[in-house]
Amino acid sequence: MTINVALAGAGAFGIKHLDGIRNIPDVKVISLVGRELGKTQEVADRYGIPHVTTDLADSLAIRELDAVILCTPTQMHAAQTLACLDAGKHVQVEIPLCDVLKDGQAVLRRQQETGRVAMVGHTRRFNPSHQWVRRRILAGEFNIQQMDVQTFFFRRTNMNALGQARSWTDHLLWHHAAHTVDLFAYQARSPIVKANAVQGPIHPALGIAMDMSIQLQAANGAICTLSLSFNNDGPLGTFFRYIGDTATYIARYDDLVNGKEEKIDVSQVDVSMNGIELQDREFFAAIREGREPNSSVAQVLPCYEVLHALEQQLQS
């Protein structure tokens, strides 16, 4: 059975999904949604997608459509996820699920009512480097004492990952911190019970903090320190240091080394080294098997409860 998919958001991240889906059998992207029709048509032509629109509702009206992947601006995620579920479609929404907690809670309620697969793109759960560490944790060979994480970008103007002007403003707390908050609880296998945050000055034009520091503690005692910046003119990306009871591991994207900088081969961990492709494979497998996916809305909602508490703290 072929799964027919619509992809909304033909920007930098949407293209990553299209590239990943090319490697997954029996999945076909039949509709592409974008903000600008001309640019969206160009992408559709490149990937052989027959239907193009600027309105998600047009895609949802396609009778043979099974599922939707949302790579749209953060502020649209929750409402569009609800629209997909209301239309009876399975849905994967890119991180973050929401930037207001009550909206994420509404999505979970609707998912439970419809029984459709609803998954959030918490890619770190799928990256082979983090999967390798996860397997050691599940085998009882490694327990996290501390995670030290740096999420660093150079984005003093409103640009996306391709260096193109964005139509919306990104957010350190609700987007970039969400990756680490979720991964820490997932890898520690323990809920977060303490969370503190401080932020730097608010950017006069963008209206967001460009620097942030977050401390977390899990119920089992493990701690996490997360530093985030849009001001960093240096090595870019997110760098994870796992400090455990038996070893230290450092993950840089899909590369993994131990504390002595000795490379660990993670190429055989999964069928691909592409975290986005692995995330999509899990989404489609959950649809076929009628099961809850890893990174389901229900599994990741506690992350957004923590982000909400941190936002309240920063605003007070």
Domain at 127-269: CATH code: 3.30.360.10
199: left (phi over 0), alpha (psi -120 to 50) or beta: beta
Q: How confident is the model at residue 159 (pLDDT cuts 50, 70, 90)?
A: low
Closest CA to 227 of 168, 311, 153: 153
- For the stretch 239-298, pLDDT in tens is 999 999 999 999 998 899 999 999 999 999 999 999 999 999 999 999 999 999 999 999
Domains of the chain, by residue range, sit at 3-121+275-292, 127-269
Report the distance separating Cα 27 and Cα 279, nearest Å: 14
Q: Work out the mean pLDDT of the chain and round it to a whole number.
A: 95
CATH architecture assigned to 3-121+275-292: 3-Layer(aba) Sandwich (3.40)
Asked if 3-121+275-292 and 127-269 have one fold, the answer is: no
Q: The pTM is what?
A: 0.95
- Other Cβ atoms less than 10 A from the Cβ of 40: the count is 21
- For the stretch 52-81, pLDDT in tens is 999 999 999 999 999 999 999 999 999 999
Report the SS3 class of residue 177: helix
Instruction: State the burial class of residue 102 (Cβ atoms within 10 Å of its Cβ: 0-12, 13-18, 19+).
Output: exposed
Which helix (H) or strand (E) segment holds residue 304: the answer is helix 297-315
